[in-house]
């Protein structure tokens, strides 16, 4: 045996050395170094997009790609949330009531196939998204247009009654159902983007849900980039669109979006030089990155809130005093400091956006909580039912466990945690077949309505069983005001009403934790995280 080992060992060692030399010689420039040379940005994008027809999707993942392929009337600014640089429209004006808007389109605006972008393309797009036969999942984003909701719900059949009109090829008129002072920033949402009428109709009817117009090689857009490659669960690549009206200002030659679902894989890929930026960073890696690679870590406020949704139709939970007691025993500072790294303790539901700041209504006061619970008939937690809290995302587990412990410690009540797959989790809430659920909400645009409108009766995202006519009246009254100060005062009042009732218990304001390489320039913190791709450059 020993003889054999003596004869085999040297050969093995020689082979291992040769293999190491070969592997060593394979060491080449990283994917990022090559991409820097080629002017291509490598972006982690979390998941495979459902589609690239922006009238068929509702997600954030899709919006990242869609904003590289299409452009709305107003562009996004790379550094300021409230700036409204020209996009497909070069200028715009409105009446005093802010209910009628005229947008003048770029005379040089072209689709990526060279055809002009006209006001008719916008009218066609809004007609398509709102048409009942098309069944656009996010059509409600256009309900700001006069009669849009009635048309979408089939109550009127004539689209000419909807508040959108092409005055001429380059003039678009929008009539709104209420004053919308933030319309320019609203049109940055992809539901307001145009579609190329000539291409859509080439592959089918306007109301056909799926045609080949939005896949390779047919997709035509009016954005700074055009689609050149799409491999499912692999990557999507876009290339600079030379027909874009502002093409001379675009610094990148292309962008590659990688749908990497596993955040640890994404982080590894970033650290091994395969990505310029990640979509996310697992919370348990934040401290390590802060310590080892502080220059690569980005922690930026994001227009999102995490909360616990309560089923207010359940016994005990139907009592606002009980919900308030639950809220008063949440030590949000501790949760954010120790578990939700980078997140900020919530003071209300809506995070600060622009000049809107809700009244701080949330506090940590176990003494008061115990008194409220006793008042509701559950002194020292006696007789309080054992409820379940649904969790769908593994990342929510740690904070849910902390909350479970806080309630047990301060109120002497028990709550079970129940993990669920996403489908069951959503289904349980929609059918009010749950007690509590760990949840969150990301705003679509920078106005409090994106957080407040969902708690109205019958709204598909409410799922609490709670509604209040007074709350809804305040929202309606606010919607009729064009003066921002008056609007915001009414929204503050409405939000205070919501926070007194507490069908939801806000926990934290969200933060975007991600990694970004230093050679990526023109990438600034933005509340909606919509970085305009045309402003980004690579400076290795």
Partner 1 sequence: MLANLIGRFFQGILVLFVLFTVTFFLIKALPGGPFKSAEKAIPKHIREKIEAYYGLDQPVQVQYFRQLKNLLHGDPGLSLRLEGREVTEIISQAFPVSLRLGLAAMAIAICVGIPLGVIAAWKKNTLLDYSAMALAMIGICIPAFVIGPLLADQFGRRMNLLPAMGWDPTDPTSWVLPAVTLGLATAAYLSRLTRAGMLEILSQDYIRTAKAKGVGSFRMLVRHCLRGGLIPAVAFIGPAFAGIISGSVVIESVFAMPGLGMHFIKAIEVGDSPVILGIVMLYGTLIIIANFLTDLLGLWLNPRLRKS
- Give the binding site for partner 1 (CB under 8 A): 1, 23-24, 26-27, 30-31, 48, 50-51, 53, 56, 58-59, 132-133, 135-140, 152-154, 209-211, 214-215, 231-235, 258-262, 264-266, 268-269, 271-274, 421-424, 426-428, 430, 460-461, 463
Tokens of 182: 């933030």
Q: Which is nearer to partner 1, 264 or 473 (CB)?
A: 264
Alpha helices, DSSP H only, in 317-460? Answer: 320-328, 332-338, 366-375, 397-411, 422-430, 449-452
What are the helix and strand counts (H, E) for the chain?
17, 16
Cα–Cα nearest to 516, from 194, 275, 238: 275
> Greatest CA span in the chain, whole angstroms?
98
Q: How far is the CB of 519 from partner 1 (least distance, A)?
A: 17
User: 237 or 319: whose CB is closer to partner 1?
Assistant: 237
Residue 384 or residue 466: which is nearer to partner 1 going by CB? Answer: 466
**Structure tokens of 349?**
């539901």
Q: Are 84 and 198 in contact (CB under 8 A)?
A: no
Q: What angle do CA 277, 279, 282 make, to 5 degrees?
A: 110
The residue (of 95 and 262) whose beta carbon lies closer to partner 1 is 262
Q: Give the residue with the Cβ less far from partner 1, 146 or 149.
A: 149
How far apart, in Å, do the first and last CA atoms of the chain sit? 57
Residue whose C-alpha is closest to residue 165's, from 217, 192, 127, 202: 127
Work out how close the CB of 133 gets to partner 1 at its nearest, in angstroms, rounded to a whole number. Answer: 7
Instruction: Return the percent helix, strand and coil in the chain, to nearest 5.
Output: 35, 20, 45
3-state secondary structure 255-313: EEEECCCCHHHHHHHHHCCCCCECCCCCHHHHHHHHHHCCCCEEEEEEEEEEEEEECCC
State in angstroms the smallest separation of the CB of 343 from partner 1: 19
Contact assessment for residue 280 and residue 297, using Cβ atoms and an 8 Å cutoff: no
Least distance from C-beta 41 to partner 1, angstroms? Answer: 16
CB of 154 to partner 1, least distance (A): 8
Nearer to partner 1 by C-beta: 69 or 362? Answer: 69
CB nearer to partner 1: give 2 or 386: 2
The least distance separating partner 1 from the CB of residue 306, rounded to whole angstroms, comes to: 13
Quick one: 106 or 267, whose CB is closer to partner 1?
267
Q: Which is nearer to partner 1, 273 or 465 (CB)?
A: 273
In angstroms, give the least distance from the CB of 494 to partner 1: 21
Shortest distance, position 81 Cβ to partner 1, whole Å: 21
User: In angstroms, rounded to a whole number, what is the distance separating the alpha carbons of residues 226 and 238?
Assistant: 5
CB of 514 to partner 1, least distance (A): 16
List Cβ neighbours of 423 (8 Å cut-off, separation of 6 or more): none
């Amino acid at each position: 045996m020993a003889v054999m080992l003596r004869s085999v060992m040297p050969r093995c060692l020689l082979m291992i050395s040769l293999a190491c030399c070969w592997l060593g010689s394979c060491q080449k420039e990283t994917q990022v170094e090559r991409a820097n040379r080629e002017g291509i940005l490598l972006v982690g994008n979390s998941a495979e997009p459902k589609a690239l027809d922006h009238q068929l999707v509702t997600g954030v993942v899709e919006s990242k790609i869609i904003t590289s392929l299409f452009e709305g009337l107003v562009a996004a600014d790379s550094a300021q949330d409230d700036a409204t640089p020209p996009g497909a429209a070069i200028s715009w004006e409105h009446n005093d009531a802010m209910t009628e808007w005229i947008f003048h389109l770029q005379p040089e605006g072209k689709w990526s196939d060279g055809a002009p972008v006209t006001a008719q393309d916008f009218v066609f797009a809004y007609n398509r998204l709102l048409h009942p036969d098309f069944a656009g999942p996010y059509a409600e984003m256009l309900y700001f247009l006069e009669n849009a909701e009635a048309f979408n719900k089939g109550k009127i059949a004539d689209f000419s009654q909807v508040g959108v009109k092409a005055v001429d090829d380059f003039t678009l008129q929008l009539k709104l159902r209420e004053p919308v002072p933030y319309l320019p920033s609203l049109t940055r949402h992809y539901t307001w983007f145009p579609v190329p009428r000539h291409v859509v109709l080439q592959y089918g009817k306007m109301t056909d849900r799926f045609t080949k117009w939005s896949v390779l090689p047919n997709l035509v857009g009016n954005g700074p980039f055009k689609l050149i490659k799409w491999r499912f669960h692999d990557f999507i690549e876009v290339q600079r669109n030379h027909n874009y009206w502002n093409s001379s200002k675009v610094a990148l030659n292309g962008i590659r979006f990688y749908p990497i679902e596993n955040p640890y894989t994404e982080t590894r890929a970033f650290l091994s030089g395969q990505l310029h930026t990640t979509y996310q960073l697992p919370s348990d890696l934040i401290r390590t990155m802060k310590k080892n690679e502080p220059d690569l870590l980005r922690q930026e406020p994001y227009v999102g809130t995490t909360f616990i949704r309560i089923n207010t139709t359940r016994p005990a939970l139907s009592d606002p005093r009980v919900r308030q007691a639950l809220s008063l025993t949440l030590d949000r500072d501790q949760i954010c400091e120790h578990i939700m790294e980078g997140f900020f303790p919530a003071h209300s539901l809506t995070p600060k956006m622009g000049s809107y700041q809700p009244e701080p209504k949330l506090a940590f006061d176990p003494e008061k909580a115990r008194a409220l619970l006793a008042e509701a008939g559950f002194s020292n937690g006696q007789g309080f039912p054992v409820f379940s809290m649904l969790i769908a995302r593994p990342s929510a587990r740690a904070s849910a466990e902390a909350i479970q412990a806080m309630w047990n410690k301060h109120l002497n009540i028990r709550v079970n945690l129940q993990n669920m797959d996403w489908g069951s989790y959503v289904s349980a809430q929609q059918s009010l077949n749950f007690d509590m659920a760990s949840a969150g909400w990301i705003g679509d645009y920078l106005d409090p309505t994106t957080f407040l409108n969902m708690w109205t009766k019958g709204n598909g995202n409410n799922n609490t069983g709670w509604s209040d006519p007074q709350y809804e009246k305040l929202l309606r009254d606010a919607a009729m005001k064009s003066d921002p100060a008056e609007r915001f005062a009414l929204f503050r009042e409405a939000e205070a009403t919501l926070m007194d009732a507490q069908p939801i218990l806000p926990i934290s304001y969200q933060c975007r934790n991600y990694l970004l390489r230093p050679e990526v320039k023109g990438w600034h913190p933005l509340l909606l995280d919509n970085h305009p791709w045309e402003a980004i450059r690579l400076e290795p």
